[in-house]
Structure 1
Amino acid sequence: MMWGRRIFAAVLSLLVTLVTGWGVLALWFQLSRPWALAFGAAWCLLGLAVLAVTLIPQGRRYWRQALLACAVGIVAMGAWWQGLKPSHDRVWADDVSQMLESHVDGDIVTLENVRNFEWRTETDYTPRWETRQYDLRKLESSDLILSYWMGPHIAHTLIAFDFKDGRKLVFSLEIRKERQESFSAIGGFFRNFEQVIVAADERDIVRTRSNVRGEQVYLYRLRARPEQLRAVLLDYLERAEKLRQHPEWYNTLTSNCTTILFELARRIAPGLPLDWRLLASGHFAEYAYDQDALAPDHPYAELQQRGFINERAHEADRSGADFSRAIRTGVPGIERP
């Protein structure tokens, strides 16, 4: 009986600690600092009161009052949390200020608000939003791009579509930052950002990572038939249109740049297994390799080594060479230009 009570008290204490910590972080990321501090302190005091009733023998006489206060607090917190709604009506950063709009007429796709910024530094750039037209009959290949910005286990995932006329179109699911706002992986768990699908020129969205931000960028040729690529591209457009009509929260764990690619790929191959590397996005290329989705007849270490584009990207800047051709030089599965 004694052990049962101790186990119950330990489990309850753990739950109270987790709920208290979650509430404090939610308040911190959603409220202005004075209100976050005030409500966060009140939430902590409530958690400490429940812990005192649970752990201190003298406090157990007040367990009913503590549980009632706890229930009221959780209901109030839950109602507030559910009342937070994503919005398109904010002062957005320039690079996510516009949303992709698409029009499909048979094989012809017209895209409005394709991003094609000229980046000199992260704060010095020439903004350009373009209307472009693509013929899906000319879609012939695709590349997986991983950009490492926070160590070897976390990467931003992009997919580039290649057309026979040499044009590239890159899709990326990103946080929709407000002006003067910066990304926070923790904040991404607490409805701190909306999400947006960006369609961009490769020289914009890839070069800014390799040449301007100094991230480590890798490119891999995907194994896919044109009809599969067409389905994935149209799925991206469908998802972008849904976001344009109905804003959604970005979530660091469940709704990010890697999970959307996995969801779209599963429409083509429903048997794709879940894997820990879907969360540790820096290992997503290894996952794709194990699913036979990358160039065949090469070990993964070779694909990774030859897919590293940074040196070629910087050399393209110095020489004025075509950026997309330069970064693909020597990548397995891609014919020599």
Structure 2
Amino acid sequence: MTRPPRARRHTKRRLTVPICLFAIYACAALYYSTLEPDLLRLGATVLCGVLCAASLCIRQPLRRLAALSGLCVCFAIWFCTDRPSNNREWAGEYAVLADAIQDGRLVHVRNIRDFTYKTETDYTAHYYNADFDLDHLATIDLITSYWAGDSIAHVFLSFGFDDGRHLAVSIETRRQKKFAYSTIAGFFHHYELTYVTADERDLIGVRTDIRKERVYLYRLELSAQTREAVFKNYLSEIHMLTTQPRWYNTLMDNCTTEILARANARTRYRLDWRVLLSGYTASLAYDLGLLNTHYDFATLHRLSRIKRPANAIPDANYSNEIRESLPLALENK
């Protein structure tokens, strides 16, 4: 028995939506991919669009379904075999990967970034190595940096030691020199994920004094055992990325989800809406009892903003200066 014309038209319409959705995602994934040369990347994008358009012209439903299935299989094979790499021509601030090796209670951290900035793009590059004793890990601070509205912020941690040193670690997109930053690109295989390991004068200072972002610093209320576990988890990932690169993903592997992963947070916390809208990460931490509860959150948020003079430049005393007016310092006076 042949299918009546109306049923065939209905089946055809049902396949149109999946094909269009696949075309949008596949073409975007190819366009934002790291395929080289650029002519190959652009050619693959155009070819994918043409093939998807051609499949829409197939009138017989089963043949149209077969065409869609074939396109999906080909795309899946490419996508799953498209591997991240540490060997690209990176933007200057991402050119050198940090490494961390634990030797008993002592941790050796190599290539700690300590740039001196004139402007965001005009800087003097400098790296140094340092040793940290796990027995002297004293604090972990949560930093949130806003450059536009209140919903989206960059979130990272800074590990403090009782000798006054701080090691800031920011989970970011490792951008190639030839690509400008793109929020959309972060949803595809475009950026590798990197743990920028730096001096606070660099990592926080460029945000407070150079970019003039709104930056907040909160002290995390954690036990010594938990602090050490989080720090060691970070160190392990920093070392692993030197030999096993990973893709960054705006939804699944971003600055906030990685912090929760390194802290071994429960799955339900990773699914909280404030993980995607990272500007509210501090609010989530407060609700989890990880921040100073002597204040309501609105007050804590207001007091935790780092205040800097108009023409300030990060110097050797930067870490102490930014904490002078924060809640913990006020309580200790």
Residue by residue over 1:188-221, the C-alpha shift from the partner in whole angstroms, topping out at 9 and shown as x without a partner, is 1111111111211001000111211222211111
Go from structure 1 to structure 2 and tell me whether the alpha carbon gap of 1:103 and 1:300 turns closer, same or farther (over 3 Å shift): same
Identity of aligned residues (%): 35
8 Å Cα contact 2:208/2:308 also seen in 1: no
Aligned counterpart for 2:97 among listed residues 83, 96, 99 = 99
Residue by residue over 1:247-270, the C-alpha shift from the partner in whole angstroms, topping out at 9 and shown as x without a partner, is 111111111111111112226x78
**How far off its partner does 1:9 sit?**
5.5
8 Å Cα contact 1:144/1:157 also seen in 2: yes
Match of 2:304 in 1: 307
For residues 311-322 of structure 1, the aligned pairs below 5 Å read: 311-312=307-308, 314=310, 316-317=312-313, 322=317
**How far off its partner does 1:329 sit?**
2.4
Mind listing any 5+ residue stretches in structure 2 that lack a counterpart?
Answer: none
Residue by residue over 1:23-51, the C-alpha shift from the partner in whole angstroms, topping out at 9 and shown as x without a partner, is 11012112555445544343333333444
For residues 69-218 of structure 1, the aligned pairs below 5 Å read: 69-218=67-216
Match of 2:279 in 1: 282
Task: Please tell me whether residue 324 in structure 1 is matched to residue 327 in structure 2.
Answer: no
**How far off its partner does 1:299 sit?**
0.9
8 Å Cα contact 1:46/1:70 also seen in 2: no
- The residue type paired with residue 32 of structure 2 is F
Higher helix share: 1
RMSD: 2.6
Match of 2:23 in 1: 20
- The residue type paired with residue 322 of structure 1 is N
Q: Which moved more, 1:42-51 or 1:86-95?
A: 42-51
For residues 257-268 of structure 1, the aligned pairs below 5 Å read: 257-266=255-264
- The residue type paired with residue 331 of structure 1 is L
Residue by residue over 1:79-104, the C-alpha shift from the partner in whole angstroms, topping out at 9 and shown as x without a partner, is 22222111111122222112222222
Q: Distance in 2 between matches of 1:134 and 1:21?
A: 48
**How far off its partner does 1:314 sit?**
4.4
Tell me how many residue pairs correspond in the alignment. 327
TM-score (norm 2): 0.88
8 Å Cα contact 2:101/2:239 also seen in 1: no
Match of 1:44 in 2: 49
SS in 2 for 1:266: coil
Mind listing any 5+ residue stretches in structure 1 that lack a counterpart?
Answer: 54-58
SS in 2 for 1:104: strand
Match of 1:56 in 2: none
**How far off its partner does 1:291 sit?**
0.5
Task: Please tell me whether residue 252 in structure 1 is matched to residue 231 in structure 2.
Answer: no
- The residue type paired with residue 28 of structure 1 is Y
